[in-house]
Structure 1
Amino acid sequence: MTDQTPIPARLPVCVPLVTEPLGLFGSLKLARRNVLAILPDLATRQPMVSGRTGARWHMVMDPGAIRTMLLERLDHYPKSRVTQNLLRPAIGESMFVAEGAHWRWQRRAAAPAFSARNVLNLAPVMTGAATRSADRIAAAGPRAVNLYDEMVTTTFDVISDVTFSGGEGFAREAVHRAIDDYVAEAGRISLFDMLGLPDWVPRPGRVFSAGALRQMKSVADGAIAERAQRGPQGVPDLLDLLLAGEDPETKRRMNAGELRDNLLTFIVAGHETTALTLSWALYLLAFDPEVQERARAEVQAHVAGDAATGEEAARMTFLRQVVDETLRLYPPAGIVSRTAQAPDELCGREIRKGDTVMIPIYALHRNHLLWSEPDAFRPDRWQQKPDRYAYLPFGDGPRICIGAAFALQEAVIILATLLKRFRFHAVPGRDPAPVMILTLRPEGGVWLEAEPLT
Structure 2
Amino acid sequence: MVSDQYISSVAPSPVLYLLFVSFVCVWFLRVYLFYRETLKRNKEWIGPRTLIGVETVFSQIFRPIPGISLGYDYPWLSKHNDYPSDGYDAYSLVSAFPMGYSSLWLSDAAAIKEIASSRSRFPKPVELYKVLLVFGPNILASEFDNWKRYRRMVASAFSDRNHEFVWYSASRLGMDLLDNVFKNEKEVVLDDVTEITLPLALYMIATAGFGREVTFQHDDVIPRGHKMSFKTAIDIIAKDIFLKLLLPKFAFTLHPRLRKLQLAFEEIEEYIKEMIRERQTSTQEEGRSDLLNNLLEANGDSEIKGEKPLTDEELIANIFIFLLGGHEDEQEALYQQIKQVMPNGELPKYEDMHLLAYSLAVINETLRMYPPVNASPKYCAEDTIITVTNASGSKKLISVPKNTKIFLHITGVHYNPRYWKDPHVFNPSRFLANYPREAFIPFSSGPRSCIGRKFFETEAVAILSLIISRYKVSIKEDPRYAHETFEEKKQRIFTANIKLTLTAATQIPLVFTRR
TM normalised by structure 1 equals 0.79
Please report the RMSD computed on the Cα atoms of aligned residues, expressed in angstroms: 2.9
**Is 1:127 matched up with 2:127?**
no
- Give the paired residue count: 400
Aligned to 1:80: 125
Question: In structure 2, which of residues 459, 476, 479 is the aligned counterpart of residue 410 of structure 1?
Answer: 459
Alpha-carbon distance between aligned partners in 1 of 2:497 and 2:336, rounded to the nearest angstrom: 32
Aligned to 1:449: 511
438-447 vs 414-423, greater mean Cα deviation: 438-447
State whether residues 121 and 382 of structure 2, in contact with CA within 8 Å, keep that contact through their aligned partners in structure 1. Answer: yes
State whether residues 328 and 391 of structure 1, in contact with CA within 8 Å, keep that contact through their aligned partners in structure 2. Answer: yes
Question: In structure 2, which of residues 273, 289, 296 is the aligned counterpart of residue 243 of structure 1?
Answer: 296
**Is 1:164 matched up with 2:204?**
no
Alpha-carbon distance between aligned partners in 1 of 2:355 and 2:178, rounded to the nearest angstrom: 21
Deviation of 1:398 after TM superposition, in Å, equals: 1.4
Aligned to 1:439: 501
Alpha-carbon distance between aligned partners in 2 of 1:110 and 1:267, rounded to the nearest angstrom: 14
Aligned to 1:255: 311
Aligned to 2:13: none
State whether residues 426 and 448 of structure 1, in contact with CA within 8 Å, keep that contact through their aligned partners in structure 2. Answer: yes
Aligned to 1:152: 198
State the secondary structure of the residue aligned to 1:74: coil
Structure 1: any 5+ residue segments left out of the alignment?
1-18, 188-203, 270-286
State whether residues 230 and 267 of structure 2, in contact with CA within 8 Å, keep that contact through their aligned partners in structure 1. Answer: no
325-334 vs 36-45, greater mean Cα deviation: 36-45
27-36 vs 95-104, greater mean Cα deviation: 27-36
TM normalised by structure 2 equals 0.70
Aligned to 2:240: 181
**Is 1:93 matched up with 2:93?**
no
Query: Which amino acid counterpart does residue 259 of structure 1 have in structure 2?
Result: L
Alpha-carbon distance between aligned partners in 2 of 1:359 and 1:173, rounded to the nearest angstrom: 38
Deviation of 1:233 after TM superposition, in Å, equals: 6.3
**Is 1:419 matched up with 2:468?**
yes
Partner deviation per Cα, 1:68-127 (whole Å, 9 max, x = no partner) = 1111x212222224522222x225321222211221122122223212233113311111
- Counterparts of residues 17-416 of structure 1 (less than 5 Å): 21-24=49-52, 28-31=57-60, 35-38=72-75, 40=78, 41-43=81-83, 46-53=88-95, 54=98, 55-71=101-117, 73-87=118-132, 89-135=133-179, 136-138=181-183, 142=187, 144-145=189-190, 146-166=192-212, 171-178=230-237, 180-184=239-243, 186-187=245-246, 205=248, 208=251, 212=262, 216-230=268-282, 232=285, 235-245=288-298, 246-247=301-302, 251-269=307-325, 287-309=326-348, 310-347=350-387, 348-416=397-465
Q: Choose between structure 1 and 2 for higher RCO, CA contacts under 8 A separated by at least 6 residues.
A: 1
State the secondary structure of the residue aligned to 2:82: helix
Greater gyration radius: 2
Residues 1:403 and 1:81: Cα distance change in structure 2 (over 3 Å): closer
State whether residues 427 and 447 of structure 1, in contact with CA within 8 Å, keep that contact through their aligned partners in structure 2. Answer: yes
Residues 1:144 and 1:175: Cα distance change in structure 2 (over 3 Å): closer
Alpha-carbon distance between aligned partners in 1 of 2:269 and 2:120, rounded to the nearest angstrom: 30
Query: Which amino acid counterpart does residue 363 of structure 2 have in structure 1?
Result: V
State whether residues 43 and 59 of structure 1, in contact with CA within 8 Å, keep that contact through their aligned partners in structure 2. Answer: no
Partner deviation per Cα, 1:46-79 (whole Å, 9 max, x = no partner) = 51111223322111111121111111x2122222
State whether residues 357 and 432 of structure 2, in contact with CA within 8 Å, keep that contact through their aligned partners in structure 1. Answer: no
Alpha-carbon distance between aligned partners in 2 of 1:369 and 1:122, rounded to the nearest angstrom: 36
State whether residues 134 and 245 of structure 2, in contact with CA within 8 Å, keep that contact through their aligned partners in structure 1. Answer: no
Alpha-carbon distance between aligned partners in 2 of 1:431 and 1:306, rounded to the nearest angstrom: 30
